[in-house]
Structure 1
Amino acid sequence: MTRGTPPPLVVVGDALLDRDLSGRAERLCPDAPVPVVEACTERARPGGAGLAAYLAARDGRDVTLVTALGDDPASDRIRDLLQPYVRLVALPLHGRPVEKTRIRVDGQSLLRVDSGGEGRVGALTDAARQALRAARTVLVSDYGRGVAAQPEVRELLAARAGVVPVVWDPHPQGPPPVPGVRLVTPNSSEAAGFAPDAVDGPATGVRAVSRLAAVLARRWRATAVAVTLGRHGALLSYGDGHPLVAPAPEVHGADACGAGDRFASAVAGLLADGAVLSEAVLGGVAAASAFVAEGGASAVYVDGRPGHAERARPGRPDPFEVVSRVRAAGGTVVATGGCFDLLHAGHVSTLRAARALGDCLVVCLNSDESVRRLKGPGRPFVPQEDRAKVLQALECVDAVLVFDEDTPEAALDRLRPDVWAKGGDYADATLPEAALLARWGGQVVVLPYVDGRSTTNLARVVCQSAGDGHPVPRAADHRTREHAGKGGVPTWRSR
């Protein structure tokens, strides 16, 4: 895997305009049994290949989007939304792009209205030819509106497929992938539609999906096919009978719209970085799951100003986006903090109790340098990336924010949680967090400590069992004021 600036990505496909009209529904229409949606607010975002390109750019990658746009208000809006984040190379569109409008109440979609889409894609421009010929990694985000079917586009994509990674996200109304692509990413219903003769009966279960993926990989002459399975993850087949299943973590997001675009954009980005297919598919599943957990497409906010797109790490929810989404819905933001070095039952008990206090839990995690300064040169036992991954894998943790300071004061000031949860016994002490939380009306709470559980004790047991003779530094008592400062007042150090 490469380090530094991520390699660039070229996205090819149909850009759409998506709108959400969100309001409240408190009564029924008098002349029909349908809800009356009032006080609507509108949020627009790029859709289709535009969303895939934006999500790839949000990962910190330079993205070029080859798409078709016309001279109409919807095309102009797509340009305004995307130009601050991606390089647009537009083919002529004779007509209008698709506009999709969802009517939503309390996070649920009541209705979707589609319009436009009658446009015809024109000939390639010199800029489009140059972008495709120079592409180092390509994502084809086909929404069946003509860009991926344009003859010269297909000719150039076929030439690049033998040289660089090409990921093809197909559409039932679009053309088949060109031969030689690295990976094709249909969902299970699309796969069944592409190969209705491949299985007998419903295309459900690992056996049937494995058969579909293998048949499609051979039929399309692709290196591999990854069939996405929603909450069950994805199945990767190279055309033989031994597929890889990439399971998805359990998520509770209600809006799965755009998850396929997130999967495809993350997979293409990871292949650009040098990952092998299995690594890329595992990373794509993690990224798509995190995307749904953050709120899906309804949580994507594009304001058309440079610098707005968060450079989020693929597969890890951005804590500030999580907080913004929960606040927008009127929810309660809870935060807690610590080193979480060798996660144990006491940690998990505290985290679960903290999550139960609100609608999301953000863990402020001490970085490796911060842990070393607080606990000595032998710590942490587990590096911050792995500690963050383990925490993020817990159902009760919505996001992780790594901070480098000795205390979480600056992180808290940025997050401004409604509740800051402390694990331990501080009943007789004044907590310094209380004054900070009071500045924005927050509350500090203390959660019961699980007796007998500590990282130091766990490490001592491991070392004794291993018989390596290495002593474990003796720490202060974790059950009561573990980090007491002068006068018995706890300092900012945390478990």
Structure 2
Amino acid sequence: MRIVVVGDVMLDVDLAGEATRLSPDAPVPVVDVSSVRHRAGGAGLVARMLAQDGWPVTLVTMLGDDDAGRQVRAQLAGVRLVAGDTGYPSPVKTRVRAGSHPVVRFDQGCEKTPVPDVTPAMLRAVENAGVIIVADYGRGLAANPGLRKLLASLAGHVPIVWDPHPAGPDPVPGVAVVTPNMAEATKAARSAGGAMDGPGPGDPAADAAGILLQRWGSRAVLVTQGEEGALLLRQGDHSPRNVPAPRVEAGDPCGAGDRLAASLAVHLLAGRDLPDAAALAVHDAADFLAAGGVAALTDTAPGGRGGERTGPLAGVDRLTEPLLLVRAIRETGGTVVATGGCFDLLHAGHVRSLKAARELGECLIVCLNSDDSVRRLKGPERPIINQHDRAELLLAMECVDAVMVFDEDTPDAALDRLRPDIWVKGGDYKGARLPEADLVESWGGRCLTVPFHPARSTTGLADALAKVG
């Protein structure tokens, strides 16, 4: 299922260096520029993040026929681009940084332009979306009447994440969630006539969310609050939900809202409900900033498996998101294979069994016992390796396409969510009916065993290591 990003793009230019002295002409720092980077900004940054994490993404936008527009196209390698011609200069935002500190920003061609026309190809691209992100940067695309009519018609059955802009139009009614930051939410609520300055201990974010939920007619509003996390209010909720953010050391917050919108769309497409998706998206945005933000994004073209993934979505990309992977494989008529276990201290027996399981279909998903689950099954001294490291080791293997961690004593709940075509266990079950057989067969699946390799076990390996240590 393709993610479609709709919105305004610009060219972002980052000039970075060190400032060790003041100019003799005026009391301003002199930045000795050591690097110049160009990247797609606005909706282009959202699309680039998704593509770099391995997602199939289409960007529907307007581009100028000028040098800046051509540079933006070059920065969007790996993104399916469906663009109209603005007829106006492409906006360019140049940021100057001294070390990790922003010094100044220069904007060129960022004046407000008339609402652009959209092409039939742009509308067709939006119609084919599995999830839509509207990344409005106030340049007019989100105000196009034909596009708005289409988005409103899709809102009932396609998740739409709308990232608004103070200079842009209101979201169309019915979208899944609108994601203003606190300043944007407060300004929009006041413009709607809401009382935001009353006395008392009221929560300004909750007040703004309530006003905007009624004004916009969206299914939910998620007000982002920086290091304080976010506040989620859905239609029908009696009270808002606070979504806390982990504490991180972050400098430049540029791009955090784009990362959050991208992450929300990914989690909604994977079938998560909005509260869970919002919690994960807030953590993803915090991780993005902790990893260096936009300054840490790679300059290489987005790649598939094996390419470097620097954003926090690297842990939930299409290669490691089980539910979305299942959907994608089934849409192409492929066979979904799953197996399960603790996989504490990977050994050759594990590797051989996993390779054999992968050969049975187009993808292999490993249902992995959580740390608590392993302790209940194996005792208080296990696992030797925590669940995050065990998952990372499994995903490093070419034969493993996804990992789903489960906390129960059996994989039944995880299996019921995945519903694989084939459930595989090691050949030590040979001749016996697998415990999960009734469940798997209830949806038409099959249970198979793969060869078992004796004398290779985690317990044996652990005992040997204990003797050495």
CA spacing shift, 1:60–1:382, aligned 2, 3 Å: farther
Q: How many residues align?
A: 352
**Could you say if the C-alpha distance between residues 96 and 304 of structure 1 is closer, same or farther in structure 2, counting changes exceeding 3 Å?**
farther
Alignment TM-score, normalising by the size of structure 2: 0.68
Q: Is the 8 A contact 2:220 2:233 kept in 1?
A: yes
> Structure 1 residues 297 and 372 mapped into 2: Cα distance closer, same or farther (>3 Å)?
closer
Name the CA shift for 1:315/1:301 in 2 (closer, same or farther; >3 Å): closer
Q: What is aligned with 1:324? A: none
1:97 aligns with 2:90: yes
Equivalent residues in 2 for 1:466-485, closer than 5 Å: 483=466, 485=468
> Which structure 2 residues correspond to residues 218-233 of structure 1 after superposition, within 5 A?
218-233=214-229
User: Match of 1:254?
Assistant: 251
How large is the RMSD of aligned CA atoms in angstroms? 3.5
The residue type paired with residue 161 of structure 2 is V
Q: Does 1:208 align with 2:204?
A: yes
Query: 1:476/1:310 Cα in 2 relative to 1: closer, same or farther (>3 Å)?
Result: closer
| Counterparts of 2:231 and 2:68, CA distance in 1 | 36
Aligned to 1:111: 104
User: How far off its partner does 1:221 sit?
Assistant: 0.7
Note closer, same or farther for the CA distance 1:283–1:30 as it changes in structure 2 (3 Å cut): same
> Within 2, Cα distance between the matches of 1:200 and 1:281?
25
Determine what percentage of the aligned residue pairs are the same residue. 40
- Structure 1 position 136, deviation (Å): 2.2
* SS of equivalent residue, structure 2 residue 139: coil
Quote the residue 2:180 is aligned against: 186
Please name the residue that 1:137 is paired with.
Answer: 131
Take 2:200 and 2:252, find their aligned partners in 1: how far apart are those partners? Answer: 22
Q: Is the 8 A contact 1:288 1:315 kept in 2?
A: no
Which of the residues 299, 303, 315 maps onto 1:302?
A: 299
Relative to structure 1, the CA distance from residue 28 to residue 149 in structure 2 (aligned partners, 3 Å threshold; closer, same or farther) is: same
Contact 1:19 1:44 in 2 (8 A): yes
SS at match of 2:134: strand
Gaps (5+ residues) in structure 2?
A: 318-340, 351-367, 375-382, 397-458
Q: Which residue number corresponds to residue 392 of structure 2?
A: 402
Counterpart for residue 371 of structure 1: 345
Deviation at residue 134 of structure 1 after TM alignment: 1.9
Once the two structures are TM-superposed, the CA of residue 178 in structure 1 deviates from its matched residue by: 0.5
Change (3 A) 1:42 1:379: closer
SS in 1 for 2:157: coil
Task: In structure 2, give the amino acid aligned to 1:217.
Answer: L
Q: 2 CA distance for matches of 1:278 and 1:15?
A: 29
* Corresponding residue for residue 80 of structure 2: 87
How has the CA–CA distance of structure 1 residues 482 and 261 changed in structure 2, closer, same or farther, with 3 Å as cutoff?
Answer: same
> By how many angstroms is 1:185 displaced?
0.4
Q: Distance in 1 between matches of 2:101 and 2:16?
A: 9
Q: How far does the alpha carbon of each residue in 1:334-369 deviate from its partner, in whole angstroms, 9 at most, with x for none?
A: xxxxxxxxxxxxxxxxxxxxxxxxxxxxxxxxx953
Q: How does 1:77-476 map to 2 (within 5 A)?
A: 77-82=71-76, 84-118=77-111, 119-120=113-114, 122-196=116-190, 197-201=193-197, 207-239=203-235, 240-304=237-301, 310=309, 314=313, 316=315, 368-371=342-345, 373=347, 387=386, 402-404=392-394
The C-alpha deviation readout for 1:355-389, integer Å capped at 9, x for no partner, is xxxxxxxxxxxx95352649x999965579x9456
CA distance in 2, matches of 1:62, 1:405: 20
Q: Deviations over 1:417-453 (max 9, x none)?
A: xxxxxxxxxxxxxxxxxxxxxxxxxxxxxxxxxxxxx
Given the two structures, how large is their TM-score scaled by the length of structure 1?
0.64
Q: 1:297 to 1:382 in 2, by over 3 A?
A: farther
1:12 touches 1:138 (CA, 8 Å); kept in 2?
yes
Report if the CA contact (8 A) 2:136-2:165 is conserved.
Answer: yes
